[in-house]
Structure 1
Amino acid sequence: MIKKWYEMAKICCFNRASPAPPPLQFHSQVLKIAVSGVTELLRFFSLSQQTSILSGDIEKQNNEFTVSSVDDVLIIIKSDYDNAYFVTGNFTSSIYAEDCVFQDPTIKFSGRELYARNLKLLVPFFDRASIRLLKIEKDVESDTNFLRASWKLRTNLKLPWRPLIAIDGSTSYELDDDFKIIRHVESWNVSALEAVLQIFTFKFEKSGG
């Protein structure tokens, strides 16, 4: 883990010492190292929390809801935002297809159970977390059933240096003919690299005098 942090710092701070690679290649390299570093960092600090996090809560999210329209799904998603599902892990999993694709600027995977587990593993690291829904609406111009939500996320992380994560973003929800969500795609107002590097931002208190 220390080696990966060193590699990331070296790329970010000392890339002037040698010719810089093409921008896309450079950003991809730094992002890969940063995401790997974050993964190891969270794993290191999670210790034995994982067993208790994964038990119980996922099961109770699987309650079936009768959904017969896009409006029904919109109401349920809005309720999940009221429960701050991004930062609590409490979401209505039954409105998602089992193989739903989840994507944000840093990662892409499929499976609603994996998404639920990922949320539950992250929740213990959030401190004073909030996600505020700005608006949610149907995309009437799309040929497919689409919902789009705009939101503001703010949270500190329970790491020794208490970094602040601040992201304004939107989530697109694509529905199939049975009104199950098959794609959950986030867009952010910052790049993937900028978002990850927020975790490694240290703030120093100014001494009075």
Structure 2
Amino acid sequence: MAAAIPTSSVALHGNARHRCSTLTPISGCRLYRIKCSGENSTSNSPTKQESAPENALLKIAWYGSELLGIAASFLRPPSPVEAPDNYLNLATDGSGAVNRVAVVETIKQDFDRSYFVTGQLTLDAYEENCEFADPAGSFKGLRRFKRNCTNFGSLIDKSNMKLTKWEDFEDKGVGHWRFSCIMSFPWRPILSATGYTEYYFDAQSGKVCRHVEHWNVPKMALLKQILRPTRGFWLWKKDG
């Protein structure tokens, strides 16, 4: 009977880790026995574990900002001239569906009006029960979205929003944008990001039934921007 001394090695391939044990003969016998076992790498586990509290914190911040916007809407003085709803009856075809080209054109015009912070969007381009989603969460309701945009704008001193690219697909359009603003909080934080919004069109009405925002920055980075004072703020505060 040949005696053998086991040796082992660990190899990493992609996301999997393989451990091989080789029995090396010491009695001159040319018999090798290799036993390999593999297990998935858990290197991504901490990220998944950390994402849960991060998502919870982001949701709290999102709903908190919505409530803050509602409170600010009651505190701000009434405007002498309220901006009317941008309600435009879009042309429909024989089946009753609005023209896709017309919907896309109104979306581009809404970008020119910085609808994200003014709430001035073409209502007839959207389903009344349209779903609005972003990295923090989602909800349904065109009026709620318009209200949130208007209230968010009341928390901003200066802003700039620009549509940089538009893409057309069979069931949706994608608008790429660049956004920056100075918020009216006492520490004057600057929020700056790029991203894109997917506009899904309802097959029957032709209107937007889903409005999904994507930000090209990590979710927590957006929150940190809001919490970070403007450069020189503390020096200005001290001198004041």
What is the TM-score of this pair, normalised by structure 1? 0.76
Which has the larger helix fraction? 1
Aligned residue number for residue 138 of structure 1 = 168
Amino acid at match of 1:187: H
Deviation of 1:86 (Å): 1.3
Aligned residue number for residue 213 of structure 2 = 186
When structure 1 is superposed on structure 2, of 61-70 and 177-186 the one drifting more is 61-70
Q: Which aligned segments of 4 or more residues in structure 1 are displaced greater than 3 angstroms?
A: 32-47
When structure 1 is superposed on structure 2, of 32-41 and 73-82 the one drifting more is 32-41
Select which of 166, 172, 189 maps to 2:192.
Answer: 166
Deviation of 1:48 (Å): 1.8
CA spacing shift, 1:41–1:70, aligned 2, 3 Å: closer
**Structure 1 residues 123-150: Cα deviation after superposition (integer angstroms, max 9, x where no partner):** 11112201011011211xx4xx210000
Partner-residue secondary structure (3-state), 2:154 = helix
The answer to which structure, 1 or 2, has the higher relative contact order (CA under 8 A, 6+ apart) is: 1
Aligned residue number for residue 129 of structure 1 = 159
Select which of 109, 129, 144 maps to 1:99.
Answer: 129
When structure 1 is superposed on structure 2, of 156-165 and 121-130 the one drifting more is 121-130
Amino acid at match of 2:88: N
Aligned residue number for residue 113 of structure 2 = 83
For the 8 Å contact 1:34–1:197, the answer to whether it is kept is no
For the 8 Å contact 2:190–2:230, the answer to whether it is kept is no
Deviation of 1:49 (Å): 2.5
Equivalent residues, number:
182
Aligned residue number for residue 62 of structure 1 = 87
Partner-residue secondary structure (3-state), 2:147 = helix
- What are the equivalent positions in structure 2 for 1:42-61 lying under 5 Å apart? 42=69, 46-49=73-76, 52=78, 56-57=82-83, 60-61=85-86
- Separation (CA, whole Å) in 2 of partners of 1:73 and 1:88: 19
- Separation (CA, whole Å) in 1 of partners of 2:188 and 2:134: 23
Amino acid at match of 2:186: P
- Gaps spanning 5+ residues in structure 2: where? 1-46, 93-97, 236-240
Task: State the identity as a percent.
Answer: 28
Amino acid at match of 2:102: D
Deviation of 1:65 (Å): 2.0
Aligned residue number for residue 4 of structure 1 = none
- Gaps spanning 5+ residues in structure 1: where? 1-19
- Separation (CA, whole Å) in 2 of partners of 1:66 and 1:189: 35
For the 8 Å contact 1:62–1:94, the answer to whether it is kept is yes
Q: Point out the structure with max Rg over C-alpha.
A: 2
- Separation (CA, whole Å) in 1 of partners of 2:64 and 2:142: 25
For the 8 Å contact 2:85–2:120, the answer to whether it is kept is no
CA spacing shift, 1:29–1:181, aligned 2, 3 Å: closer
- Separation (CA, whole Å) in 2 of partners of 1:179 and 1:21: 38
Aligned residue number for residue 201 of structure 2 = 175
The answer to whether residue 100 in structure 2 is matched with residue 74 in structure 1 is no
Aligned residue number for residue 28 of structure 1 = 55
For the 8 Å contact 1:99–1:110, the answer to whether it is kept is yes
Deviation of 1:81 (Å): 1.0
Over the aligned positions, Cα root-mean-square deviation in angstroms equals 2.7
